[in-house]
A and B are shown apart, each in its own frame.
Chain A
Amino acid sequence: MNHSTNDLAIDARMLARRFGAQWVLRGVSLELRSGVAAGLVGANGSGKSTLLRLLCTLLRPTAGTASIFGADIASEPDRVRELVGFFSPVPGVYEDLTAMENIRFAATMLGRPAGSAASALERTGLASVANERVRGFSSGMLRRLSLARLLVHRPRLLLLDEPYNNFDAPGTALLNDVIRETLAFGGSALIVVHDVASAMPVVNEWFSLTGGKMSPSAAIPVGSPSPSIIPALGMSGVLH
């Protein structure tokens, strides 16, 4: 199906990336419409995280092109970074700063008002520890702090790399709420996921990467986690 450029949150054509002599991605093409959350599955080392890092401009592609809501990742990286929020498995916070200082720093770097930091911490349940140094936080609290940074940003495209790691049930529900809100505003999400069950309530489309290449997408009905989908996704034993 052909879509206009503005319809497509992601329009990737034959994206490839090599590290030294090793090709990690071997010509991945992907179209993701606005308003859609897609799950991306695949075995370890299949290139999922590399694909996200290419799309968010942290890496440059060796070959191929991609655009995010019409902004080219190679020639308009600044514009792409405004549109994209990358949620990595690593919290990426400063341990000697407090939670509030971390999120205020993010707000300044994103050009958002300082007041947005307090509401983001409130929403992620960290308001009571806002003035405590991050060094003593649990891994779940660090994930919530990362999520607070995403809430301050409010990007149009969420690139989420194993986002459910270390989240408890309320944390998972909160993350899914954030994804739904992004979709409701015409945004999109591409979610690299091993914990398929947690993503099922929000994901509309599935893609699978195998050996650096995109496999045919598996159509999974929304909101119906079932062990029967595991073979369709080319995975084994990861459905919780």
Chain B
Amino acid sequence: MAFRDEWLRARAVAWKDLMAERRSKAGFNSVAALGVTILVLFGFALGPDAEAIRAAAPGALWLAALFAGVLAFNRSYQVELDGGALEPLLMYPGARRSIFAGKLLANFVFVFLLLVIVIAVSLVLFHITVPSTWPRLLLVVLLGEVGLVTLGTFYAAMASRSRAREVLLPLLLFPMLVPVLLAAMQATKALLVGDVMHDAGAWTSLLVAYDVIFLISTFLAFDYVIEA
């Protein structure tokens, strides 16, 4: 019963965040535009060498998702701070982890839509052909997204209490995301070339391990970081 109540609360928070985002529209459009712009800039920076572009594609893709995702994570708490809604949110009875779960869910959907756009643009821009291992590639993308969104949602909650939150979030988040991004990039790279070295499995296992560790630790610590 308690789990059902927590699930209902988490679902309500996610629905509320997504509905507010859908109605404001500007948020997703600007985040997606930033993601695409970063990819285009990477394309310019790498020059006309097709091989170099293909080799850099996994890194460019994940970095575009990261930079655009930071905007999304900041926005997810900004909606609470704008109307002074954070206090009522924290005053609702029940475990506060359901608030975190709801924010996590909403950010997951948001970043998933962002990734769909970023990947589609990457395919065209970096001349990538969809490999036969695409189901495994999809799994890596989802696992990488879980790590990115979990840490992003958690550190955005921590930064939301600061006046310098826009600067503080990347400073806190980027160092912690290094292992997730490294594993996601390496697994993506391996799968894009057909996993000839058979190392995609190891990177994917590492990604799963990081996701589990980060999910558990952020759920346990959320109560402390969201308190004033």
Q: Among B5, B79, B91, which residue has the most Cβ atoms of chain A within 10 A?
A: B91
How many A-B residue pairs have C-beta atoms within 8 angstroms? Tell me: 77
B82 & A95 in contact (Cβ 8 Å cutoff)? yes
B94 & A91 in contact (Cβ 8 Å cutoff)? no
Pick out which of these stretches binds chain A: B17-25, B41-49, B134-142: B17-25
Partner of B24, one of A79, A88, A96, A109: A96
A94 & B83 in contact (Cβ 8 Å cutoff)? yes
Please count how many residues in chain B sit with their CB below 8 Å of the partner chain's CB atoms.
Answer: 28
A81 & B87 in contact (Cβ 8 Å cutoff)? no
Give min CB distance, A95 to chain B, whole Å: 6
Pick out which of these stretches binds chain B: A3-11, A52-60, A220-228: A52-60
B87 & A86 in contact (Cβ 8 Å cutoff)? yes
- With known contacts A59-B228, A133-B23, A86–B91 Cβ distance under 8 A: yes
Classify chain A: how many residues form its interface, as a range. 20 to 34
Q: In this complex, what residue of A is CB-closest to B19?
A: A97
A110 & B16 in contact (Cβ 8 Å cutoff)? no
Give min CB distance, B90 to chain A, whole Å: 6
Whether, in the assembled complex, B92 has its beta carbon less than 8 Å from a beta carbon of chain A, the answer is yes
Contact flags A33-57 to B (C-beta < 8 A → 1, else 0): 0000000000000000000000011
Pick out which of these stretches binds chain B: A100-108, A191-199, A200-208: A100-108
A93 & B93 in contact (Cβ 8 Å cutoff)? no
Give min CB distance, B9 to chain A, whole Å: 6
On chain A, the residues within 8 Å of B123 by CB distance are none
Query: Considering the complex, which residues of chain B in the window 78-101 have a beta carbon less than 8 Å from any beta carbon of chain A?
Result: 79, 82-95
On chain A, the residues within 8 Å of B94 by CB distance are 78, 81, 109, 111
Contact flags B86-126 to A (C-beta < 8 A → 1, else 0): 11111111110000000000000000000000000000000
On chain B, the residues within 8 Å of A94 by CB distance are 16, 20, 79, 83, 85
Whether, in the assembled complex, B50 has its beta carbon less than 8 Å from a beta carbon of chain A, the answer is no
**A residues neighboring B (CB under 8 Å):** 56-60, 78-79, 81-82, 84, 86, 88, 90-97, 101, 105-106, 108-111, 133, 149
**B residues neighboring A (CB under 8 Å):** 5, 8-9, 12-13, 15-16, 19-20, 23-24, 79, 82-95, 227-228
